[in-house]
Amino acid sequence: MGESLNSIVILGFSGSGKTTLSKSLSTLPRTVEAHEYILMCSLGQVYGAIDSPDIQRALRKGTARNLQTFVRSPACRGRFARFHRALTKSSGIFDFVNRLMDASIERLIYESNFMTFCPELITSALPKAKFLCLQRDGRDCARIISEKYNILTDALLTQATTSEVLFSDRRVREFHIPWWVDHGDDEVFLSCPPCGRALWMWQAMKRRVHAFASNQCNSDRQKIFFLNYEDLLNKPATSLDTVEEHLDFPMTREAKRRWMKIANSRQKYSIKLNFSHQESDFGPAWQKARPVWESLGYK
């Protein structure tokens, strides 16, 4: 499966627009979406945190087998699955009938937040995949995810049951410290408000995915395209052209229509939130993450 499918992997932090992009691309014919839930949400964190080559090898094999099973399962190839895709993705009655009758799958779209920690794990499972990595100012992302999900609070750090802290390699007093916090930074991390801790996680993800991209050989490096959220919404037509060029296949009329519709509607609410960022809102995480967001062109 990994050898034959032309897969698209969409990575990014919560609030960066990856779902918007995934929903548009999922309208392409003979395409199926694999949501993050088909793999353990802690899988990317475990893979990134451990140093054992044997365990990492086992996780790579397991991930490839999981995706194989998903694509071959009735959830993808069953009659109900085909009907649902035809009903929700088609642009008209003729397209609906074609999708309903065509059982073939040529393309897999996998969207993930936590796999941004370890894109190399997905690369091994989907060797032909091309990556689209969505980027947005980490302060915006941290504010959104903190207000929406109330993550990384003191209470949640004591329980270690949420996705952000499912894998913790140490404790400070009653608090579990996520593995993506560098040793020696424990107390500094704990001194941050929850919004600052979310920003800390954002910068850890960004450092890892950019390190992965820079460590690839030239041919593999061309598989990774970084797309700014602001460009996705402010310049949707130009962004569409660059995505088409990177993926090396034309977008359908329905995919383009949905792309423009979603971008235009989200622009009213997402890009014009006019967040006013203050260092005090994030605590010490502000200085920790500042080199990262500045390297991405944010002020």
Phi, psi of 235 (to 5 degrees): -130, 65
Q: Total structural domains in the chain? A: 1
Q: Is residue 245 part of a domain?
A: yes
| Max Cα-Cα span within the chain | 63
The rounded distance, in Å, linking the Cα atoms of 68 and 113 is: 21
The rounded distance, in Å, linking the Cα atoms of 145 and 14 is: 6
Q: Is residue 80 part of a domain?
A: no
Please, what are the averages of pLDDT over each run of 10 residues along the chain (299 residues)?
Answer: 69 84 81 76 79 86 83 79 74 73 79 87 84 90 88 91 80 92 94 95 93 72 81 82 84 79 63 66 93 89
**What's the pLDDT score for residue 220?**
60
> Rounded to the nearest 10 degrees, how much is the dihedral formed by the CA atoms of 199, 200, 205, 207?
110
The rounded distance, in Å, linking the Cα atoms of 91 and 114 is: 32
Residue whose entry in the numeric block shows the structure tokens 């996998």 = 110
Residue whose entry in the numeric block shows the structure tokens 């424990």 = 186
Q: Is residue 139 part of a domain?
A: yes
**What's the pLDDT score for residue 222?**
65
Q: Is residue 201 part of a domain?
A: yes
**What's the pLDDT score for residue 256?**
80
Q: What share of the chain is helix, strand, coil (3-state, %, to 5)?
A: 60, 10, 30
Q: Is residue 31 part of a domain?
A: yes
Residue whose entry in the numeric block shows the structure tokens 């991405």 = 296
**What's the pLDDT score for residue 206?**
93
Which structural domain, as residue segments, surrounds residue 65? Answer: 8-72+106-295
Of the candidates 297, 289, 270, the residue with the CA atom closest to the CA atom of residue 15:
270
**What's the pLDDT score for residue 6?**
77
Structure tokens belonging to residue 36: 């993050």
Q: Is residue 91 part of a domain?
A: no
The rounded distance, in Å, linking the Cα atoms of 269 and 139 is: 17
The answer to whether residues 170 and 177 touch, using CB atoms and an 8 Å cutoff, is yes
- Predicted structure pTM score: 0.86
**What's the pLDDT score for residue 219?**
55
How would you class 67 by CB atoms within 10 Å of its CB: exposed for 0-12, middle for 13-18, buried for 19 or more? buried
Q: Is residue 232 part of a domain?
A: yes
The CATH number that applies at residue 32 is: 3.40.50.300
**What's the pLDDT score for residue 217?**
62
Q: Is residue 127 part of a domain?
A: yes
The rounded distance, in Å, linking the Cα atoms of 293 and 297 is: 7
The answer to whether residues 38 and 70 touch, using CB atoms and an 8 Å cutoff, is yes
**What's the pLDDT score for residue 1?**
46
R_g of the chain computed on alpha carbons: 20
Report how far apart, in Å, the C-alpha atoms of 29 and of each of 90, 128, 242, 280 are.
9, 18, 20, 48
Structure tokens belonging to residue 5: 């499918």
